Structure 1
Amino acid sequence: MADNSPNPVPFSEPPYLRGLPSPYITDAHREFQKRCRRFMWENLIQHAMEWEKLGTVPEHVFHTFCKYNMLLPNMPAPLPVDWLKRLGIDDILGVKVEDWDYIYTGIYCDELNRSGLSGPGGSLNAGFAFGIPPIVKFGSKELQERFLPDLLTGRKRACIAITEPEAGSDVANIVTTATKSADGKYYIINGTKKWITNGIWSDYATMAVRTGGPGPSGLSVLVVPLKNHPGVTMRRLKVAGQVAGGTTYIELDDVKVPVSNLIGKEGQGMRLIMTNFNHERLVIAIGVTRAARVALSAAFSYCLKREAFGKTLMDQPVVRHRLAKAGAELETMSAWVEQILYQLCHLSKEEGDLQLGGLTAMAKAKSAMVLNECAQVAVLLFGGNGFTQAGQGELVEAILRDVPGARIPGGSEDVLLDLSVRQLVKIYQAQEKKLSQSSKI
């Protein structure tokens, strides 16, 4: 839809877009949503399926988004206001950069993924969501001066490069090495990175490397040049879903990087990576929840008109049962994500990481489970059409292929579920210790 009329099909929109009251959404948020939806339709959503089938979003789309500051919303809130002001960036579609909060982030990510396909949006936002934030949060002043002017304006592109062929969710055991040169001026990097979203188009990678011994204490993070840099070889990987996302395999053979490209200090890599994961997982959860809406509402609409055994599918109790079970999961997930976004607006970064880190990991894992349920239901109800990469069911067929891309990146499902409970146990133990100490006073 090009206009802002709410989609009347059940499960197609979050409650506030159906005209229902919301404790989180202000008039300013609603006005931004209208402008954002119009921009996304004109520049991305109406072409999303075409570009996903082609496997690449045209390069001019990235530049258009940057021209209107429409990739900055992928960064954690609050935005780096001082840097943006220095670069002459004062607003995002009318919202002052200093007024940006996580509710705006949620609206933006929802609209970015309105097509239901993660590949087209993922081809644009990975650098801003995952690659640039560690430089903003932990980079030295000198490092920021060298890289942020080009990265924040989109003159150069970035990605995040953590995963390796033998180390995905097990970040602590990556093996790509960065050894200092004899003169101490460079790191010499050797290793491989795999499944790197946007890597093929990126000028730089925010890369996890091993500068020390085994385990998490030996990890560091560097800004590593990619395109046309000596020793760097990149090729695209064929993946089942998210085809337009530019998934890349990177080989690093004696790649020289100045020691001044270190983000933070040596040995701090695990902490830097984990801190950024909270935002990454939240952004994924928002987009995944929108994809689940697209799949389930498409199935709902189809069931109202498709006839079988002398009546519509919607007249079949078993069909209504499937829609109800998936819809309950979807609306529950949507409400949880909104709650986390609101809480982040009212907590400091440190308190948000502490209180919501485990829950955000759990939410990301759960959102992918919900997408899996909604996509499976949609494909089943579309029948043969849902098994065909063209025609009425092509969208739900593509969304189902995207499901592993929701369940694995950003920490695979089982790892995140375990992590979330371990984090909750830590919080409980810390609180219990405080209570026992206070009772002794």
Structure 2
Amino acid sequence: MQTYTVEQVAQHNNAKDCWIIVDDKVFDVTKFLSEHPGGKKVLVKMAGKDASQQFKNFHNDAIMQRVGLPMQIGVIASSTPATPTTSATPATPATPATSATTRSSPATYTISDIVSGAESKFGEGIPYGDPSWYQEWNSPYYNKSHIELRKVMREFVDKEITPFCHEWSEAKAIPRSVVKRCGEIGMLAAISGAASNPSVASLLPYPLPAGLTTDQFDIFHEFICVDELSRCGSGGLVWAVEGGLAIALPPVLNFGSDEMKKEVVPAVLSGEKFISLAITEPSAGSDVANLTTSAKDAGDHFILNGEKKWITQGAYADYYVVAARTGGSGMAGISLLLVPRTLQGVNARAMDCQGMWGSGTSYITFEDVKVPKTNLIGKLNHGFKYIMTNFNHERLGIVMQANRLARVCIEEAFKHSLKRKTFGQPLIQHPVIRNKFGHCIRQVEATHAWLESILYQVKTLPHETQANVLGGPIALLKAQSTQTFEYCAREAAQIFGGLAYTRGGQAEKVERLYREVRAYAIPGGSEEIMLDLGVRQTLKKVKL
């Protein structure tokens, strides 16, 4: 890339020929003057000068990636050349990890055993902006395959997802091409439960990310994928990619017929089609046992009637996994059906919600829909059991997302507190601000440690015992994570002040996440239900 001296840039110092410097990169912003949201005079005032500090005071990194870099024409002579990125482009395929341990190997690595020196530190280095094992702390949970996956995922998300989240959120639509890219790099298989299900290994349309094999893949690989995707700071984006997939596909994987798997699994894991879970009704949310949608026996098919509400990805889903009453009252009369959107009588419309824009939250009606009996998932009237089996995985996914989003709030607010000055000193120098960070950090770190402990039980306990052993702790952890998220979103908004009251700009992520908190606190079991369930599960082990 062309190099310039500071003196050369200084010659381009008026509205007809306007160059500026930001972080040793040279930009020609002449044609952008009339489009600048703050007015052309703001830029003309800095024409020919270094505007690094001013840029950082008013913009976030995503603006540079999306808007700034296409205008870059060179670098200052003493700086390292940079390659501009003009749009989301395919990431370079990762090199397979050659020395990763298999699932059966004991976790005996320490981080220093795997990487050393500068490589042992990962991320931007903002205190508590990443989990402790990213910053030289030893951990019994991770090996080289996890470290390689972490690197691949971050590069993909930072390049192809994060810079565009605000634009997609405001449009209330995530491009289908984004989901297809997630499929192509193997992420959809990694975060849906498919990668750890041997029965569908031959149906995966693409290899797993970072050269992982299904034998190597464990719950901590899934955690890293969800965690790094969530770092984009948009719950709406995360749910548009996998909000329906991660909760609707497992029943098909675990209980569907071979024919059903062959039709559905490759299609949804490639991002070509979408699937969503239709359980919640206008009058039946957490009270699943009393849902009223019915599927009447009509010979070789069921007649499905009813309504479903707040269905993630439902507005554009191609398949619905529907909970319907096929028997008597209560939990013993519920079945799961795979309902293609193309069947006559299926209607879905998008709902206008407080947050999670672009995730396709919908209201669905079924009017005399003829569902072939071959579309029954598992056994008749066993649907409630399948739903309960699925809840632990769903809630763990919510915990993974919520705690990373809380961490995003800390990271964004911390970066702001280092550069924003009030009363003559940076925000971080004020004790009241450090107190806010202290309370946020202690909750996020505690939640993360509990999550890792539970994930280790998922990895090591017999599958048939996990529902009873982990159901209560996971319920409590779900409430812990969402309350932590809400706390951190509020405190981060306070630290940003008025910047967090407007959409876009430096506080873009925090403003958006503050609106998305309710979508984590309620779905998957409300906090109130989770806290009660956690204690009730404990009481089963106590003699009264």
Task: State which of 292, 295, 299 in structure 2 corresponds to 1:178.
Answer: 295
* Corresponding residue for residue 492 of structure 2: 378
2-side partners of 1:68 and 1:390: how far apart? 29
Kindly indicate whether residue 188 of structure 2 is the aligned counterpart of residue 74 of structure 1. Answer: no
* Corresponding residue for residue 266 of structure 1: 380
* Corresponding residue for residue 415 of structure 1: 529
Task: State which of 400, 407, 411 in structure 2 corresponds to 1:286.
Answer: 400
Task: Say whether the 8 Å CA contact 1:220–1:262 is kept in structure 2.
Answer: yes
Task: Say whether the 8 Å CA contact 2:247–2:276 is kept in structure 1.
Answer: yes
Deviation at 1:310, TM superposition (A): 3.2
* Corresponding residue for residue 10 of structure 1: 127
Amino acid at match of 1:199: G
User: Residue by residue, what CA displacement relative to the aligned partner does 1:18-37 show, whole Å, maximum 9, x if unpaired?
Assistant: 22211211122101111121
* Corresponding residue for residue 200 of structure 1: 315
Q: How does 1:8-47 map to 2 (within 5 A)?
A: 8-47=125-164
Name which of structure 1's ranges 327-336 and 67-76 shifts more when overlaid on structure 2: 67-76
Deviation at 1:395, TM superposition (A): 1.8
Higher alpha-carbon Rg: 2
Seen in structure 2, the aligned counterparts of structure 1 residues 39 and 118 have a Cα distance that, compared at 3 Å, is same
* Corresponding residue for residue 477 of structure 2: 363
Deviation at 1:40, TM superposition (A): 2.2
User: Residue by residue, what CA displacement relative to the aligned partner does 1:352-390 show, whole Å, maximum 9, x if unpaired?
Assistant: 222111111111111000001100100111111111113
1-side partners of 2:143 and 2:434: how far apart? 34
Q: How does 1:251-400 map to 2 (within 5 A)?
A: 251-400=365-514
* Corresponding residue for residue 349 of structure 2: 235
Name which of structure 1's ranges 68-77 and 382-391 shifts more when overlaid on structure 2: 68-77
Deviation at 1:87, TM superposition (A): 5.0
User: Residue by residue, what CA displacement relative to the aligned partner does 1:194-215 show, whole Å, maximum 9, x if unpaired?
Assistant: 1111112211111111112221
Q: How does 1:85-234 map to 2 (within 5 A)?
A: 85-87=202-204, 89-181=206-298, 184-226=299-341, 228-234=342-348
Deviation at 1:272, TM superposition (A): 0.5
Aligned partner of residue 509 in structure 2, secondary structure: helix
The answer to which structure, 1 or 2, has the higher relative contact order (CA under 8 A, 6+ apart) is: 1
* Corresponding residue for residue 437 of structure 1: none
Seen in structure 2, the aligned counterparts of structure 1 residues 58 and 153 have a Cα distance that, compared at 3 Å, is closer
Aligned partner of residue 24 in structure 1, secondary structure: coil
Aligned partner of residue 447 in structure 2, secondary structure: helix
1-side partners of 2:428 and 2:273: how far apart? 50
2-side partners of 1:26 and 1:234: how far apart? 44
Deviation at 1:313, TM superposition (A): 2.1
Task: Say whether the 8 Å CA contact 2:410–2:492 is kept in structure 1.
Answer: yes
Greater share of helix: 1
2-side partners of 1:109 and 1:91: how far apart? 14
Gaps of 5+ in 2: 1-60, 66-90, 92-120
Amino acid at match of 2:238: G
Task: Say whether the 8 Å CA contact 1:160–1:196 is kept in structure 2.
Answer: yes
1-side partners of 2:205 and 2:430: how far apart? 58
Gaps of 5+ in 1: 434-441
User: Residue by residue, what CA displacement relative to the aligned partner does 1:65-124 show, whole Å, maximum 9, x if unpaired?
Assistant: 222222011123762234222556554330002211011011111011011211111101
Task: Say whether the 8 Å CA contact 2:205–2:269 is kept in structure 1.
Answer: no
Task: Say whether the 8 Å CA contact 1:211–1:220 is kept in structure 2.
Answer: yes
Task: State which of 49, 58, 67 in structure 1 corresponds to 2:166.
Answer: 49
2-side partners of 1:213 and 1:123: how far apart? 35
Task: Say whether the 8 Å CA contact 2:315–2:361 is kept in structure 1.
Answer: yes
Deviation at 1:350, TM superposition (A): 1.6
Count of matched residue positions in the alignment of Structure 1 and Structure 2 = 427
Seen in structure 2, the aligned counterparts of structure 1 residues 211 and 296 have a Cα distance that, compared at 3 Å, is same
Deviation at 1:327, TM superposition (A): 1.1
TM-score, normalization: structure 2?
A: 0.75
Equivalent pairs: percent with the same residue? 39
Deviation at 1:5, TM superposition (A): 4.7
Kindly indicate whether residue 177 of structure 2 is the aligned counterpart of residue 60 of structure 1. Answer: yes
* Corresponding residue for residue 436 of structure 1: none
